Structure formats: structure tokens, C-alpha cells
Structure 1
Amino acid sequence: MSKKVVIIGGGIIGLCSAYYLLKDGHEITIIDQSNMDSGASYVNAGYITPSHFISLATPGIITKGIKWMFDSKSPFYVKPRLDIDFLKWSWAFKKSATKEKVENSIKAIKDINLFARDLYEDLKESKDFDFHYERKGLLMCYKTDKVGEEEWEVGKRGIQEGLGVRNLTATQVKELEPNANLNIKGAVYYDSDAHMTPNHFMKEMVSYLKENGVTFFKNEKVLDIDVTANKISKIITDKQSIVADEVVLAAGSWSPLLAKKIGLNIPVQAGKGYRINVERETNITIPAILCEAKVAVTPMDGFTRFAGTMEIAGINNKINPTRVEAIATAAQNYYNNLQITKTEKELAACGLRPCSPDGLPYVGKSSKCTNLTIATGHAMMGWSLGTATGKLISEVISNKKTSLDLSPFHPDRKF
């Protein structure tokens, strides 16, 4: 049965949800407070990452975080603040950062990433799209033996999970990436991963949805949500009121603010990430993560992107030049011939990634609202999990058996 579905949020998660809901025969409206041409869906590394099966909340991350808190150039920065939601999230993050909980989440994270990759490849092969997509794998590049050993431990765990993983010497890396002139000791290589050019895909998807009848309300802010008998009866924006059969909350880092309007608590903190684009030849052909610096490198369609940092400091889009400089410096330290110019750094952009305390997204319905489906909390895997989340959301709303077990992603789960 066709339903009228309103999606709050026009990022990668919202657009993919709209696509699969449309395919299932529903009538779709997307509301977004922005012009839908910036933010996390446009500035990310464009990775499809089955290799990223270890959650953000890992044992030891709290200790590292405290150390990094005093280093403005650090890859992971948490700004301490007296905010009740931040303090509750921090406590939940600490409770999630155990070996047992990380181990229990590995299969769920790996499976949803593989599912998403298959769906991206299905879209690529369809006649509807012509976006940039390459499966060249991912190099986890390291400069020190200690980090190399840590990465290989993760790599061996990946092999146990059925992924193709190799531990490469610097010479072997050069055979794969002959002209990039990497200054490293070695790399752990995952053949499972792919990459894309995010802004190209977003543009194509918006065009497809518009051409197929999806309604867009851009630059429109949701002010309130009316609920009657555990069901959303009306969405009130700064321009109109909208009635829907079903509502999808895919507003990224803003999702908890909207959830509160209907009495729901969705623990999410905004994790700011930055990107620098280099629109000239770099001779980089394979995506890489520069492990010690936590910088992602992606050869996109017409340029190379350098992205990094996780800055948990509330919702703001202020550019911190020190953190941009740290990304540029790291890139130049790992690639001998690379120079990132002052202008390229001045054109850096940022986006806010919605981070859950346990590194797993929220996908599914809360028991507290019958016609609301939640899709947020994807952290650094938002791009990677876009298609999978969209497909699962559509299956939930269409009352179909879901392709994956959604219990690890339940919005009501306890921390």
C-alpha cells in the first residue's frame, strides 16, 4: 500500500531512503534546512568501507582522547563542556568502549557495509545513474612498526571475517601505487573497499528523485512535530504544516534536537570533519588512510581529497585553521612530492557527522512513536552505509522482512 512519507534531512541517508521508498511505490517529500549543497554528505572521503568493522568506541580511546584534548592538531578532539546531553553521551561512549562490546558489533558493522557496497554496485550498473565508483581497495599506510603491528592485528581479524587483506612492505605498496612516492614503512591493504565522488552522486540522486516525482522543500526548518496517541500527526516548519502517514528522521547531527520535540532521546554528538581538495595531478590512484595522522586520501573524479579529524565540539561549522593545517602537513609527510597550497587550505570545508556512543547507527522504529522511522548516528560511515540504510528504511516502512537483522541498530537500545 502506498504511503505518504516525509523525510526530514536531505543528506546521503535521506536521499537513499527516498530512492528505495520511491521504488516501493510511496509518495515522498524531503525537507531540509539547507540548500542541500554542503555538509557531511558533500565533504566526506567517499569511502565504501567493509574494512571499517571496528567501532569508534574502542578500548583505550578514552585515554587517547584525554591526551589529544590538549593538542589542537590531534586527529580526535573532544571539547569538554557542561552540557547534559554531551555528558550523558560521554558516559555512554565510555561504557561502550570495551573489548566485549566492540567484538559483538563487528559482524553487524561488516555485514551492513557489504550490503551497502552491493547496493551501490547495483545502482552503478542500472540505467538510472552514471556516477563515479571504483573498487580499488584501501591502503592503511603506516610509518612506525608499532602502528603497523596494530593495523595488522585488525587486518587478521578482517581475514577471519572473510575479507581480503594483505600486509604489504613499502616496496609492495610501490608496486600498487608506483607514482605517488609514499614515505611509509608499509601498509595493510583491504581489497574489499571502494570509493566515489560524493558531490557527483548527490547531484545525480537529487535529479533522479525530482524527475520521478519526489517533492523537495529546501531551506525549510522543522520547528515542531505534533504527536497524538504515540503517532506523529503533523510536521510544522517555518513555512507550512505537513501531514504524513510515515516520517523518516534522517537529519544527521540535528536529529536529537528534533527527536526531543516528540519526547525521544537519541544520543548523538556532532563530530566535525574537514576536507581539502587538490584539483591537480597528485599521481595518487588508490585510496589510503594515513594511520598515525588519521587522514583519509581519496582520488576522486578530477581531484584528490584529503579528509580527516573528529572534533566533537557541538553543532557549529566554524573552520579551525590549525586542524586544516594538520591535515595538509600529514599529507605532505606521507607523500614526498606533495605540496598543498595556501589557497587550497583556505578553501577547506567541514561537515558534521552524527556519532552514536557505541559506533553503530540508529536504524528502525522506536517503540515510542508508531509512524516514525529513525536513520541517523552513522558517524564516519554515513557515506558507506547510505544505500543500505535507505533500503532497510524502505523495508521497515513497506512492512517487508528486512535484509539484515536490525536489532544491533535499534533506536531504543540501552548503553
Structure 2
Amino acid sequence: MKRDVVIIGGGIAGLCTAYYLQKSGRKVTIIDEADITNSTSFGNAGLLSAFDKSPLSCPGVVSNTLKLMLKGQSPAIIHPTLDFKIYKWLVNFIKNSNEKRTKKTMMLFEKYGEITLNLYEKMIKEDNLDFDYHRDGMLSVFTEDKSYKERLKKYNYTDDERFKIFKKDELKEYLPSADIKKIKGAILFKKNARFDSGRVMLELKKHLIDAGVEFILNEKIDSMRIENNEVKHIISSKSVFYEAEHFIMSTGYKTALAGKYCNKDLMMTPAKGYSITFEMPKEFIPKVSTIFNDLFIVMTPRRDNVRFTSKLEIGSDDPAIIEKQIDSIKKNFFEYNQTFEMNNEVYWSGFRPLTPNDIPLIGRDEDVNNLTYCMGLGWLGMTFGPALGSIVSDLVVNDKKNAQSDDILMFSGFYQ
């Protein structure tokens, strides 16, 4: 049976692309090697941080990371590896960590972040989806005096709709667990939002199934056959052949298919991260999503619990949850917060697909006519999922070339 559109990968990018393809009348099949309930999207912090949040590759990131390493608080770990591609990625990452690139990236983040929030709100309203969604801002907390003063220089004006610089008593209202004596300062950035990422994934999956989208789960795609500049079929680990009019590769950090069969050297690396989901005393629950700017720890309140996310391991392919990393997250957090009991803890680890300039890889393959990419969202998958899904859907439905889409030319790593 020849299908209409097959999406390889059921993360947020795959689900959002399927959502808009289905809305446009296409018959969609999603194939995923797992059941999506332990994906990188599922373990996401749930902080939608497109506004006033620097990209990962920004000025000072290398020196700041080295400083935190000396203090034993660094979220980043680079494992020794013989994989030359990782070192190539690191060189490109450092090259992109400049003021000019950061300014451009933040403008793009803001443009497509606003589009995404509007699309999430439209999903919630039109399809009655429960995302536990709140657009109540992001609290950025600084534990280093230097980084706080640098940020204050950028926000030395008044804009009550965009941000508010907190006094100590105001911080306590929003982050009651804070050790005020150790916190250098805090700014509430009002345009950001939050939700429960796991709930989003399950709600979208259920909605898509009800809308007729086919899910083939726990089946890995191992190979593909290309003839006359078209994908003829893909082959799963169960030796099942899948034919389709169009294929969308949304495989997160896994680039083997693109490299082996499409000769596509995708500049992307897996970055391992962790989350801890737990219950905490009500009097300590933060009012909004909180990012500890100098520790790379995000703390997001949800309907039934709270989630920490942290760590950035480069060069690791070990999916196991390493206990010392969990302990390190807790240690860094409680260095600047009052002690409290963390109950019913659930640990998760997964790999974020990072490009060296924080820009996703979206767009049609230049040689394979019926293949489109939607991947490389890194730690911002939930922040941009709907925007990118709608862009990719538009390419496929209207049979556009990349050059015919301003969004692809602006917001794809293939053209940045």
C-alpha cells in the first residue's frame, strides 16, 4: 500500500507537522522507533522561552562554562571521543558564539516564538486540547554578579509589558524557595509561556489518532531506497517496506539515514540532558517557570508536580541515567535555595539534537525530490514545534521549493 505522507519520528516536530498536514487534507503516517512517551520532547522542561533568552551559542558561553567548571557547577560536559564530527561541530559552535549571530538568532526566536504561541493557543481553543498552558512569563535568576550586571546593561530602559527587574521581596513571592542572600538578582520576562510537555505530546497524539493519522510505533526505520532522485520506499527493522508520495525526516539527533542514503552531512550533535519530575511542598512551588541563568537549570511548575531540567553532555551516547548527574543538579539547585523534600521523584535522560547555531534544519532535500527535513530543534523543540510544523506542511502541501518559502530561507540551518 502506497501512503500519502510518511513522517519518520514522533517527537514534537513530527507530531506538529502531522497536525498541519492532516488539517490540509493529507493522509499521514507517523513511524517511530519507540512509543513517544520517553522522547526528548516528552522530557522537555515545558518552558517556551523564545523571548529575552539568549541562544546556547552566545558571547561568553565558553569562558562562563570554564568558570563554572572550576566551581564544580558547570552544566556542560564534553566527553573525550574519536568522533571527528563532534569536534567539527564544537568549532562551528564557537564561531557562532558572537554578538552579531546572537542578535540575529534572538530576532528569529522572537518572530517564530510568537507564531508558535499563537498556534498553541489556537490548538487549545479550536481542538479543545489540554496542555496545562500558561503565558505568565519566565523568571531569570542570576547567581553570578557579573552575568546579572551584564544583563542589566541590556535592560536599562522601562518596558512594563516586556520585563520587570525584581527587588528581593518580589523575588520571594515568585520563587519562595530562594535563598535571598545568595541570589544576585532576578528579572521577570513577561512574554514567555509554559506548559506540561508530556501532556502536550499525549494530547496531540490522541487528537491525531482521532483525526485519522496512522501511528506505527516501536518500529525503527533502518534503510531507504532512492531511485531517480526519489525515495521509493523505506525499510523497517521488522523488514516491512513503506511506500509514500512524500517522506519527512524528523528523527531528532539521529542523522544516519540522511548521511548514508542521501549523502547529507547534517551539522548536528546529540547533547544529553536530564529531567527530574517531583512533588514539593506547596509553599515552595514557584509561581512561573524559572531559569537559573548561570546554572542552566530550568524549574517549571505543572498542574500536579514540578520539573527540573539541566545538563548538557557532548560526546556521550550512553542513554542511561547517571546518578551523579542527578545529584549534581540537586546540589547546584540547593546551593541557592532552601532545602525541602522532593517526593515521588521520576528521572529521565535523553538527547537533544543541537545545531551549532541553534537554528533548526528544515526544508526539502536538494537532490531527493520527495524528502523533507524537520529536525535539529535542540532544547527549543517545544518552543518552535508548531511554527516549524506549519512551515514544512506548507512546503509539502503546496509543492514548494525551498527558495519559494521565506520562512525556510530565514529560519533553516541549511541557509544560515
TM-score between both structures, scaled by the size of structure 1 = 0.90
Aligned residue among 166, 170, 173 for 2:171: 173
- 2:73·2:295 contact (CA, 8 Å) conserved in 1? no
Q: Deviations over 1:226-271 (max 9, x none)?
A: 11222211111112111111111111111x2121122111111111
Q: Deviations over 1:109-133 (max 9, x none)?
A: 2211111111111112223412210
- C-alpha separation in 2, matches of 1:403 and 1:412: 13
The aligned runs of 1:395-414 (5 Å cut-off) are: 395-399=394-398, 405-413=407-415
Aligned residue among 303, 307, 324 for 2:305: 303
- C-alpha separation in 2, matches of 1:174 and 1:350: 30
1:378 deviates by 1.1
Q: Helix, strand or coil for the counterpart of 1:368?
A: coil
1:316 deviates by 2.8
- C-alpha separation in 2, matches of 1:79 and 1:4: 42
- C-alpha separation in 2, matches of 1:188 and 1:148: 9
Q: Deviations over 1:153-180 (max 9, x none)?
A: 4556996xx9702221222223445x44
Q: Helix, strand or coil for the counterpart of 2:6?
A: strand
Question: What residue number does 1:315 align with?
Answer: 317
**Residue 350 in structure 1 maps to residue 370 in structure 2:** no
Cα gap change, 1:85 to 1:392, in 2 (>3 Å): same
Q: Helix, strand or coil for the counterpart of 2:205?
A: helix
1:375 deviates by 1.0
Question: What residue number does 2:132 align with?
Answer: 132
- C-alpha separation in 1, matches of 2:68 and 2:48: 28
Query: Higher mean Cα deviation, 55-64 or 202-211?
Result: 55-64
- C-alpha separation in 2, matches of 1:105 and 1:5: 31
The aligned runs of 1:184-203 (5 Å cut-off) are: 184-203=183-202
Query: Higher mean Cα deviation, 40-49 or 391-400?
Result: 391-400
- C-alpha separation in 2, matches of 1:265 and 1:319: 29
What amino acid sits opposite 1:222 in the alignment?
I
Cα gap change, 1:167 to 1:269, in 2 (>3 Å): same
Cα gap change, 1:339 to 1:266, in 2 (>3 Å): same
- 2:51·2:109 contact (CA, 8 Å) conserved in 1? no
- C-alpha separation in 2, matches of 1:25 and 1:220: 26
What amino acid sits opposite 2:229 in the alignment?
N
Q: Helix, strand or coil for the counterpart of 1:311?
A: strand
Question: What residue number does 1:369 align with?
Answer: 368
- 1:9·1:250 contact (CA, 8 Å) conserved in 2? yes
What amino acid sits opposite 2:295 in the alignment?
A
- C-alpha separation in 1, matches of 2:227 and 2:340: 59
Percent identity over paired residues = 27
Q: Helix, strand or coil for the counterpart of 2:333?
A: helix
- C-alpha separation in 1, matches of 2:179 and 2:374: 38
Cα gap change, 1:308 to 1:231, in 2 (>3 Å): same
TM-score between both structures, scaled by the size of structure 2 = 0.90
Q: Helix, strand or coil for the counterpart of 1:245?
A: strand
Cα gap change, 1:43 to 1:373, in 2 (>3 Å): same
Question: What residue number does 1:334 align with?
Answer: 336
Cα gap change, 1:380 to 1:158, in 2 (>3 Å): farther
Q: How many residues are treated as equivalent by the alignment?
A: 405
The aligned runs of 1:165-314 (5 Å cut-off) are: 165-177=163-175, 179-183=176-180, 184-239=183-238, 240-254=240-254, 256-260=255-259, 261-281=261-281, 282-314=284-316
- C-alpha separation in 1, matches of 2:61 and 2:196: 30
1:382 deviates by 0.8
Question: What residue number does 2:112 align with?
Answer: 112
- C-alpha separation in 1, matches of 2:385 and 2:391: 10
1:193 deviates by 0.8
Cα gap change, 1:112 to 1:151, in 2 (>3 Å): same
Runs of at least 5 residues in structure 2 that lack an aligned partner in the other structure: none
- 1:266·1:411 contact (CA, 8 Å) conserved in 2? no
1:90 deviates by 1.8
- C-alpha separation in 1, matches of 2:158 and 2:79: 33
1:17 deviates by 0.8
1:298 deviates by 0.3
Q: Helix, strand or coil for the counterpart of 2:382?
A: coil
What amino acid sits opposite 1:218 in the alignment?
L
- C-alpha separation in 2, matches of 1:157 and 1:403: 36
- C-alpha separation in 2, matches of 1:305 and 1:371: 39
Question: What residue number does 2:35 align with?
Answer: 35
Q: Helix, strand or coil for the counterpart of 2:335?
A: helix
- C-alpha separation in 2, matches of 1:112 and 1:16: 14
Cα gap change, 1:338 to 1:153, in 2 (>3 Å): farther
1:294 deviates by 1.4
Query: Higher mean Cα deviation, 123-132 or 168-177?
Result: 168-177
What amino acid sits opposite 1:330 in the alignment?
N
The aligned runs of 1:15-54 (5 Å cut-off) are: 15-51=15-51, 53-54=53-54
Q: Helix, strand or coil for the counterpart of 1:285?
A: coil
- C-alpha separation in 2, matches of 1:377 and 1:395: 19
Query: Higher mean Cα deviation, 24-33 or 165-174?
Result: 165-174
Cα gap change, 1:263 to 1:70, in 2 (>3 Å): farther
Cα gap change, 1:330 to 1:404, in 2 (>3 Å): farther
User: What RMSD, in angstroms, separates the aligned Cα atoms of the two structures?
Assistant: 2.5
- 1:164·1:191 contact (CA, 8 Å) conserved in 2? yes
What amino acid sits opposite 1:336 in the alignment?
Q
Question: What residue number does 1:89 align with?
Answer: 89
- 2:86·2:315 contact (CA, 8 Å) conserved in 1? no
Cα gap change, 1:199 to 1:167, in 2 (>3 Å): same
- 1:275·1:306 contact (CA, 8 Å) conserved in 2? yes
Question: What residue number does 1:10 align with?
Answer: 10
1:301 deviates by 1.6
- 2:36·2:42 contact (CA, 8 Å) conserved in 1? no
